[in-house]
Structure 1
């Protein structure tokens, strides 16, 4: 048996016995079982969980100032509701339109956008065609006497190529760019405005909660659509933002977003000042913005090279935070991890900003995503409840399932290493199951009970999916998440729940 010294509750020199480097809670409690003695400090103090894998981070002594239900790792929001101005404007525009069968069109567009995949690269398509051709040739068998006739040989080759093309069409996702006219823009407004606003509100809330001093002056919205980013940013930071540059290639979308800001009528003034609409990104690399956002837009770019080029441009224009949001599917997660690697590895020929890139959220590390390391990758996604537009076919509450990435400039804060809860917290009698993405790039499934410390237990019990557990990782003795049951498959749109 070896001896070790731990520091708990700011009291150095508390000697505990260890066995093989693992803290023996039972022996320590039996040895110091006097009222008010070290054992009492052990349980009441900021103790460890799961054999010293995690310890509550008490550098700021936050638990002496706030209750556990509001510990600094709490980031989740309750139901999000659209501002009354934009809700009224959206209803007015939809009621005055000539759209028919709006409910069916909204459902069809929602399903299509949720199932939308990345465009296949030419190299991938060529590889798949070669594999199909080889498979078909193997079924035909070795050449026969029929191949001696040139005409017959040409005919058979043509049939083979036709079969390859037919199989490619059946087995390959056919990506095509989306173009929005006036009617399609209104359908997008009805189907996506409230959900996008909810996801953006949740992401902006995290920046405000963790960096309360951040007060952006300018915002760039790439792929602005109906203007959900503008509304969510204005709700988060109010009059602090003086300039909103909204970039969307669709003139119909820009016009609709402007009408929303004007209360549905061209005769009124925009209720949010300083909003400008463009169809192209600003060219000059010297034009920078405190907050740069791209929400549900990366999948609309035609190739990987276009996505990488766009992300690099957006990062060059970022002075504070770059926020990227996509559907909470495998495709959406893949797009964000591609963008994450692009920013972390970006090397401009001309350095316009020497500050390094840092992953602000949701990852507590800058290592490869652990969900990509499995044989069956699963998306890292989160949910936000929101109140949809008040139409008869809508439920009272819906859930937006989304993936997000926040990149920042400069060095990360000390608390950036707190692990993220990446699945719904399972509360059971006298214990809590938490699945965490940790600072060492691993997924951990920990079971927290009261005996590991009252503070840690209550913090875990009041946390939700997407929150950060205010603990520090002291060793790697926990059980890594090794199964494929962490999240549901993304084969269907997000479920709808009632209050």
Structure 2
């Protein structure tokens, strides 16, 4: 009775309200299951929780053979100290920011100088001072400006990975990075089962986590692994691990080569990887030069991965936009394989709310010291593929965890229209199969649905 009276009074006060509400109701999207998924579920080929868009795996662990090699590689070093320093390094890298461009840095310093100068002008009557006093005040302002700039402006500097720092990186980061790369490579294998890579190149290879993951997925196919890292200590450690922690042993993976710089040859590789390396480059110009070089060496998939922070996401989006513009101008046939189902600007960047587009990977820490428990790692990434996109590439992707509630589930997705879409699924409205598919889907999965916008 209350609701009836409320709406009656509202319609009387606002004559257009009823029409606006009806129009809004009509604009709600109609959501249906993909035909292939619908037929497979009806035929009992698999259950909704195993639908074709399920990509996320459980908690990932570094293989025992690698763990044993890591233990042997650290036997002459204080493991407890390495674990402590490795955790500090991991925290630093997770919160790292890219270097400011020269113009931006100069602008920020000038802003600090002007702000400090204004503070002094308010405190002292500068116009009444003698020349000697002004000279002294200017020196103080300059010193205070430099101090303020150091406090407020992020001071990027490259990290020198010597032998000990490389071991810190190994113990602090390798398990998380391996889990992330395994998840990305598993998606490529699942969605493109006919892809049989023969060659792999890893820019910024570090301790070799890219090689560990790629060989785990395609060991029978890949015959050439090229690892590029500017640190000789990193390359030596990566090779030592593949030799089981003893340099006189043969390598457990065939055809691995180590370099300090990208090869100048025009060789092509089926998988080109740059994981957690863009932060190490000193400027945007350097980053775009590297990206162009990597794309020119790609003959299949180009995989770019960074931290799941807003800074890491911004670097991935910068790379994504640069490659889209460059490839479009060249007329090459390509598509974004993951995670985006579209080629438009990322809707997260359009919102400008400081929220990154990132995903979560669960992993088991290395069983050293008191470690061994499971952890989570946030990452942002983009995968380009040369060739035509498949049907699956247009499916909406869940960009946040599914909210499972009583008799309904809420999915937040990125759609092929380049927009963020939130849909509340219920069995009564969408059918049991679709509701169960949505309920079982996790952050990072594809949802096999069609979203038909009503006009």
TM-score between both structures, scaled by the size of structure 1: 0.81
Does the CA-based 8 Å contact 2:366-2:372 persist in structure 1?
Answer: no
**Cα distance, 1:144 vs structure 2:** 4.2
Which of the pair is proportionally richer in helix?
A: 2
Cα distance in structure 2, aligned partners of 1:66 and 1:74: 12
Aligned to 2:349: 372
Aligned to 2:446: 468
Does the CA-based 8 Å contact 1:344-1:357 persist in structure 2?
Answer: no
Does the CA-based 8 Å contact 1:326-1:403 persist in structure 2?
Answer: yes
Q: Aligned residues, how many?
A: 428
Does the CA-based 8 Å contact 1:417-1:472 persist in structure 2?
Answer: no
Cα distance in structure 2, aligned partners of 1:107 and 1:189: 10
**Cα distance, 1:80 vs structure 2:** 1.1
TM-score between both structures, scaled by the size of structure 2: 0.89
Q: Is 1:281 matched up with 2:262?
A: yes
Cα distance in structure 2, aligned partners of 1:362 and 1:375: 19
Aligned to 1:66: 46
**Cα distance, 1:274 vs structure 2:** 0.4
Aligned to 2:437: 459
Does the CA-based 8 Å contact 2:49-2:440 persist in structure 1?
Answer: yes
Does the CA-based 8 Å contact 1:146-1:152 persist in structure 2?
Answer: no
Q: Is 1:425 matched up with 2:402?
A: yes
- Equivalent in 243, 248, 266 of residue 247 of structure 2: 266
Root-mean-square deviation (CA, aligned residues, Å) is 2.1
Show CA shifts across 1:319-355 (max 9, x none): 1100111111111101100110111111699x6xx53
Cα distance in structure 1, aligned partners of 2:438 and 2:301: 29
- Equivalent in 300, 310, 316 of residue 280 of structure 2: 300
Structure 1 residues 154 and 322, CA, compared in 2 at 3 Å: closer, same or farther? same
**Cα distance, 1:292 vs structure 2:** 0.2
Structure 1 residues 343 and 375, CA, compared in 2 at 3 Å: closer, same or farther? closer
- Equivalent in 193, 198, 204 of residue 212 of structure 1: 193
- Equivalent in 247, 250, 272 of residue 228 of structure 2: 247
Q: Secondary structure at the match of 1:239?
A: coil
Q: Point out the more displaced range, 226-235 or 453-462.
A: 453-462
- Equivalent in 254, 270, 274 of residue 290 of structure 1: 270
**Cα distance, 1:427 vs structure 2:** 1.0
Q: Is 1:122 matched up with 2:139?
A: no
**Cα distance, 1:432 vs structure 2:** 0.4
Does the CA-based 8 Å contact 1:146-1:153 persist in structure 2?
Answer: no
Aligned to 1:13: none
Structure 1 residues 212 and 163, CA, compared in 2 at 3 Å: closer, same or farther? same
Cα distance in structure 2, aligned partners of 1:453 and 1:22: 20
- Equivalent in 156, 169, 187 of residue 188 of structure 1: 169
Q: Is 1:397 matched up with 2:378?
A: no
Show CA shifts across 1:148-195 (max 9, x none): x44433333222222221111000111110011111111111111111
**Cα distance, 1:411 vs structure 2:** 2.2
Cα distance in structure 2, aligned partners of 1:442 and 1:188: 37
**Cα distance, 1:51 vs structure 2:** 4.1
Q: Secondary structure at the match of 2:226?
A: strand
Structure 1 residues 53 and 151, CA, compared in 2 at 3 Å: closer, same or farther? farther
Cα distance in structure 2, aligned partners of 1:208 and 1:476: 36
Does the CA-based 8 Å contact 1:434-1:447 persist in structure 2?
Answer: yes
Show CA shifts across 1:201-232 (max 9, x none): 00001101111111110001000011010010
Q: Is 1:439 matched up with 2:395?
A: no
**Cα distance, 1:402 vs structure 2:** 1.4
**Cα distance, 1:82 vs structure 2:** 1.4
Cα distance in structure 2, aligned partners of 1:358 and 1:177: 33
Cα distance in structure 2, aligned partners of 1:115 and 1:473: 37
Structure 1 residues 101 and 230, CA, compared in 2 at 3 Å: closer, same or farther? same
Show CA shifts across 1:428-455 (max 9, x none): 1210011111111111121100022222
Does the CA-based 8 Å contact 2:28-2:453 persist in structure 1?
Answer: no
Aligned to 2:29: 52
